[in-house]
Structures are given as C-alpha cells and as structure tokens.
Amino acid sequence: MKTHLLPALKLTALCFMLFVVVYPLSILGIAQLMPNQGNIAFVESQGKMVGVAHIGQRFDQDRYFNGRSSAVDYNAAASGGSNKGTSNPAYLAQVQARIDTFLVHNPAVQRHEIPAELVTASGSGLDPDLSVAAALVQVKRIAHVRKIPVALLEALVQQHVQEPLWGLFGPRHINVLALNIALDKLSTKTLQ
Amino acid sequence: MNTEIAGIAFTYFLTVILAIPLGKYIAKVYAGEKTFLDSVLGPVENLFFRWSGIAYKQEMNWKQHLQALLTINVWWFGWAMFVLMNQGWLPWNPDQNPSMSPDLAFNTAISFLVNCNLQHYSGETGMSYLGQIACLMFLQFVTAGTGMAACAVVFNAMKARTTDKLGNFYNYFVKSCTRILLPLSFVLAIILLWEGTPMNVAGKASITTLQGDTVQVSRGPVAAMVAIKQLGTNGGGFFGVNSAHPLENPSYLSNILECASIVLIPIAMIFALGYYLQRKRLAYIVFGVMTVGFLLFVVPSVYLEMQGNPALTQMGIEQNLGSMEGKETRFGAASSAFWAVATTVTSNGSVNAMHDSLTPLTGMFALLGMMINALYGGVGVGFLNFYVFMIIAVFIAGLMVGRTPEFLGKKIEAREMKIASIIALLHPLLILAGTALASFVYVGHPDLPWLNNPSFHGFSEMLYEYTSSAANNGSGFEGLGDNTPFWNISTGIVLILSRYLPIIGPIAIAGILANKKFVPESAGTLKTDTATFGLMVFAVIFIVAALAFFPALTLGPLAEYFTHK
C-alpha cells in the first residue's frame, strides 16, 4: 500500500487538471461558438422575454393551450415527477379529479376524447411539449373563449407540429410555449 | 412502421455499429499498439507518469494491481467527502446551495466513488457548481476508468500463456480515461450543446412567463457532465430528474445519442475482448448471450409501456400514446421503456422517465436487469461479472460431462470456484438482506415517511433501492424518501461491498489462472466458444441470479401486476 500512496496522489492531482480544468474549460470555450453561447435559449414575444425554449411553463388559463400536469407545478429550479405507482389508489383518484376538472372547463369534449398524457404528470415536471391530440382537444374551448374560428385554431396547431426526427424516429409533438405565443398573435390579428 | 419503434431500433443498431470499431480501438489501446491519438495524448500521458513517479512499463501481479486500485480510491474518497461537506462556503456556488450533512455526504461520496451515482439529493438544490464539476464529474471519469482498467487486467490474464505479470494498473487506468472516455465525452458534449444543453457558469435565471408568473430557471455547466455520466455508466445527472430534464436531454436526437452512449462502451468492451485475445468467436458468444437477455427484457417492456396503464383505460380516457405518467412527450413511451432497460442492464442508472411510475412488469424487468448485472453491464465491471458466471458455467459443464473443467487452457480448481461462488452469491445476499432489514424496520415504525406508494409497490421501492445500490446502478424508485441516516448509511455499506468485492474476486481468479500451467486445447477440451456453452452460461445466469430473487419479485412487482385492475 505504502509504495502507492504518493504516486496515486500525484496522479490524482494531474487527472484533476485534465478532467476538471482542461476538459470543462474546452467545452465552455466551444459553447461560445454555439447558437446560444452555452446559455439557455430565451424566448421573446413582442419585445418581452417570456420564457425558455426547452423549459415548460405553467399554462392553466382557459385562454391558453394548457400543458401537461406537473408534480412540481412547473418549478424550473426543482424538477421532479410524481413517482406514483400506476396502481396507487390516491394517484388514480388524482387523475380522476383532473379528468373531471377538464370536463368542466371543456364542456364540448367527451370523456373518451381526453388523451391520457394531458391528465398525467410528466417525468421532469417541466415537459415543454404536448402531443397533437392533447392540443387539438383544447381547440373548442379556446375558440369559445377567444372568439376565433375552430378551423383557424386547428390550422395553427397543425403548423406547430414538430415531425419525428428526420421524418422517421420518435413521436410528433408540439412546443406549448411557441404555440401559445402564436395564439396570442392570432388573437390580436383577428381582433383588428 | 411506428416512428417510436423505429426510433429505438435505430438507437440499438447505431450503438452496435459504433461499438465494433470502438472495440477494435480499445483492444489496440490496451495492447499498447499505435492509435491515431498517440501524437496528441502520448506526450500528456508520459508527462503524467513522469511527474507522478510511476514506471508505467513495470508490470504488476494481480495483488499489486489491487493495491494500486484501492489506494487511489482512498484518495478520491477523501477528496469527495471534503468537497461535499464544504461546498456551501467554497467558491463557485452561485445558487448558494448548502453543504451536505455527514451521512448524506458519506452516501454521495461512496456512491460516486463506486461508479453508482445513487443520488439522495437533488442537483438544483443540493449541489454547487464546484461540487458538480470538481467532485462528481471528476469521479465520473476516474471511476469509470478504474472499472475499465480492472477489466483490462482480466483481459491480459486470459491470454494463452503462464505468467504473473499482468500489465501496469496506472497505465491501463490513465489510458482508459484519456484514450477512451475523454475523446468520446468531448464529442458527445459538443453535440449536446448544439441540441440545446447549456454549459455556462451563471446561477439561476429569473423569467416572467406568458401567463405572468415569475419563475427561477436552474442552469449551469451541464453539457460536460452529461456526456461523461452517460458514457461512463455513471448516471448521476446534473438536475434532479436526470435525463428527463429538458435541459439535460433536450430533443429526440439527444435522447438517441445519450441512450446509445449508455451501452456503447459496455458492448465495445466485449468486442475488444475478441480482438485483444484474437478469439472473436468467444466475443460473439458473450455478446450473443448478453443480447438475448437484453432483448428478453426490452421487448415486453416496450410493449407494456405502449399499452398504457389499465387503470386509466378503465376511466374511459384515450391512451394511444401509452402510459405517460412520469414520461416526457418528446421521447414517448417506447424510447422511455427502452432506456429503462438499457440503463438497468448496464450499471448506468440515468433515467429519461420516472421508474417509480413504470407499469409493474416493466419495473420488474428493470429490477431483473440490475439483479443479473452482467447483460452488457457497467463499463469494464459488466464483463467482470459475466466472467464470474462463465467460470461457474465451465465448472458445472465440466462436472456434467465428467472432465476437468478448463477455461481458455487453464484448469479451474477449488480455490477459483470458491471465489466465484462467493462473488455470485454476494449480490443476492446484499440485496435481500438489505430489503429484509428495511422492511423489518418499516413494519415496526409504519409512521416513517419512507414510502410514496402503498402496498406491493411500496415494497418494490425498498427492493429497488438495495438492488440499485448492489448493482452500482444508481437509478431509483425515487418516491422513496431516502435522504435519511438509515438509507444513507445502509445503502452506503452495500455500495462499498458490492463494488470492490466483485472487482477483487474476478481479478484474483484471473490472476491465479494466469499463473497456472497452460494446457493446449485437445479433443477432450470443453469448447467455450460454442452456442452450447453460451446456452450453459445463460442457464447459470438465470438460475443463480434471476431465480434467487423470484420470491422477492413475487412480493413486489408480480403481486402488483396480478392485483392491478
């Protein structure tokens, strides 16, 4: 053991220089050449900063497309999932309550039309996306609140669908923040 | 074809296609042959050895290897404890996160030291940037390198000759880090940056949302750490929810690459074995056995998660996308299930969905992956576990056909078998004894705020925690309230035993075998590079590793499945 003590310590110090100083500093340097300079991607709308592209934010008003449920209420400084088991009775009651609330806010929607992803909590609590079905099911409500034709809103949703990677891999999804920013713009246009 | 299924098929094929040339490269690195990075990294490594006073060409026997390995690990433990317990006042802590309590620091230091990365804290609120980079990320490099070096020693010992000289530990260790882990991490980190993972030094950002809420957004030097945590089967994420976090894993492309990175080096190590020993058939058999086991877990898991939660179907809602509780929309159910299996068969433990919310049987496959812990397995150590099963299989097969058991020209005798049996049985012992102890404590004090779910699933949470610790995996049924002295200390002890003994055992066996007389292959030799032997190993793995846990699995996920309405 003794013969290894000093060489091991010195080697540790040198590895430290390489992995803790050189490596992260190089990545930090390269980050400066990237689209966001290594920062999070802020999103602006009408000259105001309204969010971060990848981070989901709370939308619970009827006039917006609502995002998925979040176990941490979209707290972007403390991500988390519900960690509820699929058979947990308390959890199932919670989902049932979300379905009932949704039906109250969306009287034109039938129960069997509600996509499960809208009433279940995401893994991070910060899911920035909705499935296409979860966006479309909210269109009638928003059309009613905002007095915008349903067809126009459906077209808006379709415009914002992000197709699978290279058209081949992964699910289709919609960024909720981008969709809601576009929705606000559409509202001001139709009002004029 | 369904784009979600296509996505995971592509991920798997990409991994294997990359692993073949990488395996060849790794074999060259360990054999000391010329590679394309020599001109850049050669001088750096030589400088490292000169300044440390290490004669890297001096070969060590297996005991010296273990001495070097354990000594350097002691230094790292000391460093980790110091940083974690003092990060509150140390520099580079823009979010003013506190220092850790002694029991939490003990658990965290051990868990990163043993390449497990069980996290009883949450990154955003529990770590400073200094702690993340200078302590955790540092350990993610060097502990992965340690596992690979241990594997290289065993590779060396498997050569067809008689010797006690098995290469130099420091040489294997440094080269594993500089030649394999560092370049790969570099490439992955840059792609992640491009996809939107941050790498900056500022603290939380404050934003006002479209609805008018004010929200703090955590960020930091994420990209550098995520790359090595995926590649080195570490799994300890920057943020609390690991790769489910939209900054840690921003897109489907980043998800493919991060998921491929989990199994890339473990698979490449198998191919490296084939090139290194020039026994490609043996490598194919090992790869075949591992792949069959892997697919046996992946296929039903993907199917079940895409089917959805039967209880939600009963509520009359639509579940076309599968069970989405604890999952992210941009990944979908299929790739979340695929990741769940990939991360548990290897000892990675990063997650892109919450395992606590997996449907019961998928949760069981995740558990089984860790209970076997040798289907691909951790970088380096995965093969060490598999090696133990091969020794046992050779012995049993030898007894069955009435021949002296021989493995690659070396006789396997009582001493090696004793070591192999102890190592194989240690894993169930630690898991089951730990779970039994925790259950006993909980039954005596049902008011303890441990379990986030009642009944069978609550039991699964405890079983999962010890399984994850003993497999040095690091994922969790995170509903478990595990930041208490009981969990921090008990899992900490399991972590230490289950890391070092399974490294010491195989190195000892390999060292003893290497020193024995080489018996050239004859007509009477049991061939180890045939499908029959592969089947034999598979049977041993299933009987020793999987069936030992059957009663425990019956009380947890199986009972939950059969009572799930």
**Dihedral over Cα of B180, B184, B186, B187: its sign:** positive
Residues B480, B493: Cα–Cα separation, whole Å: 18
Q: Which among A50, A56, A117 is the nearest to B246, CB-wise?
A: A56
DSSP B526: P
Chain B interface mutation, best of A57, A88, A92, A119, highest count of B Cβ atoms under 10 Å: A88
B3–A112: do the CB atoms touch at under 8 Å? no
Give the residue among A180, A59, A187, A182 at the shortest CA–CA distance from A118: A59
A173's tokens: 């999804």
Residues A156, A67: Cα–Cα separation, whole Å: 16
B71–A84: do the CB atoms touch at under 8 Å? no
Which portions of chain B are predicted below pLDDT 70? 1, 565
- In chain A, residues with a C-beta closer than 8 Å to the C-beta of B47 are 14
Residues B212, A108: Cα–Cα separation, whole Å: 28
Give the residue among A141, A151, A152 at the shortest CA–CA distance from A185: A152
Contacts by B317-322, CB closer than 8 A, 24 or more apart: B317/A99, B317/A111, B317/A112, B317/A114, B317/A115, B317/A116, B317/A119, B318/A112, B318/A113, B318/A114, B318/A115, B318/A116, B318/A133, B319/A115, B319/A116, B320/A115, B320/A133, B321/A115, B321/A116, B321/A117, B321/A131, B321/A133, B321/A171
Identify residue B527 by its one-letter amino acid code.
Answer: K
Return the residue of A nearest to B253 by Cα.
A165
Question: Mind telling me how many Å the CA of A141 is from chain B's nearest CA?
Answer: 17
Residues B354, B466: Cα–Cα separation, whole Å: 17
Residues A58, A125: Cα–Cα separation, whole Å: 10
Cβ-contact B231, B269 below 8 angstroms: no
B282's tokens: 């043996």
DSSP B288: H
B177–A19: do the CB atoms touch at under 8 Å? yes
Question: Mind telling me how many Å the CA of B157 is from chain A's nearest CA?
Answer: 22
Residues B266, B273: Cα–Cα separation, whole Å: 11
Q: Does A87 touch chain B (CB under 8 A)?
A: yes
Residues B557, B90: Cα–Cα separation, whole Å: 44
- For residue range B457-477, list pLDDT tens digits in order: 999 999 999 999 999 998 989
DSSP of A49-113, one letter per residue?
A: EEEETTS-----STTS----B-TTTT-TTS-------TT-HHHHHHHHHHHHHHHHH-TTS-GGG
Apex CA B252: angle with CA B250 and CA B256, to 5°?
110
Q: Which residue has the tokens 């246009």?
A: A189
A20–B133: do the CB atoms touch at under 8 Å? yes
A120–B312: do the CB atoms touch at under 8 Å? yes
A38–B199: do the CB atoms touch at under 8 Å? yes
How big is chain B by its Cα radius of gyration, in Å?
Answer: 23
Q: Cβ of A112: how many Cβ atoms within 10 Å?
A: 9
Q: Which among A88, A96, A115 is the nearest to B315, CB-wise?
A: A96
Cβ-contact B554, B196 below 8 angstroms: no
- The total domain count for chain B is 1
Cβ-contact B303, B312 below 8 angstroms: no
| Phi, psi of B215, rounded to the nearest 5 degrees | -130, 140
Question: Mind telling me how many Å the CA of B160 is from chain A's nearest CA?
Answer: 29
Cβ-contact B459, B364 below 8 angstroms: no
- In chain A, residues with a C-beta closer than 8 Å to the C-beta of B121 are none
A169–B256: do the CB atoms touch at under 8 Å? yes
B327–A39: do the CB atoms touch at under 8 Å? no
Give the residue among B168, B541, B247 at the shortest CA–CA distance from B374: B541
DSSP B98: P
What is the reported pLDDT for A1? 64
**Cα–Cα distance list, B92 to B251, B289, B555 (Å):** 29, 47, 46
Residues B84, B236: Cα–Cα separation, whole Å: 15
The three-state secondary structure class of B487 is helix
A77–B204: do the CB atoms touch at under 8 Å? yes
- Domain hosting B487: range is 3-563
Torsion angle of the four alpha carbons A132, A135, A137, A140, in this order, in degrees rounded to the nearest 10: -130
What is the reported pLDDT for B454? 87
Q: Which among A5, A123, A164 is the nearest to B354, CB-wise?
A: A123
What is the reported pLDDT for A191? 63
A78–B125: do the CB atoms touch at under 8 Å? yes
Q: Which among A14, A51, A127 is the nearest to B209, CB-wise?
A: A51
Cβ-contact B289, B255 below 8 angstroms: no
- In chain B, residues with a C-beta closer than 8 Å to the C-beta of A181 are 210
Residue B241 Cα to chain centre, angstroms: 17
Apex CA A59: angle with CA A56 and CA A65, to 5°?
100
Residues A100, B347: Cα–Cα separation, whole Å: 42
Q: Does A188 touch chain B (CB under 8 A)?
A: no
Give the residue among B443, B447, B423 at the shortest CA–CA distance from B435: B443
Where are chain A's structural domains? 1-39, 41-191
Q: Which among A28, A36, A121 is the nearest to B326, CB-wise?
A: A121
Which portions of chain A are predicted below pLDDT 70? 1, 191-192
A15–B312: do the CB atoms touch at under 8 Å? no
- In chain A, residues with a C-beta closer than 8 Å to the C-beta of B253 are 165
A78–B253: do the CB atoms touch at under 8 Å? no
Q: Does A51 touch chain B (CB under 8 A)?
A: yes
ipTM of this complex prediction, to 2 decimal places: 0.94
Strands A48-52, B214-217: pairing is: unpaired
B184's tokens: 């790969």
B217–A164: do the CB atoms touch at under 8 Å? no
Question: Mind telling me how many Å the CA of B503 is from chain A's nearest CA?
Answer: 17
Cβ-contact B274, B280 below 8 angstroms: yes
- In chain A, residues with a C-beta closer than 8 Å to the C-beta of B185 are 23
- For residue range A148-172, list pLDDT tens digits in order: 999 999 999 999 999 999 989 999 9
Q: Which among B223, B241, B331 is the nearest to A80, CB-wise?
A: B241
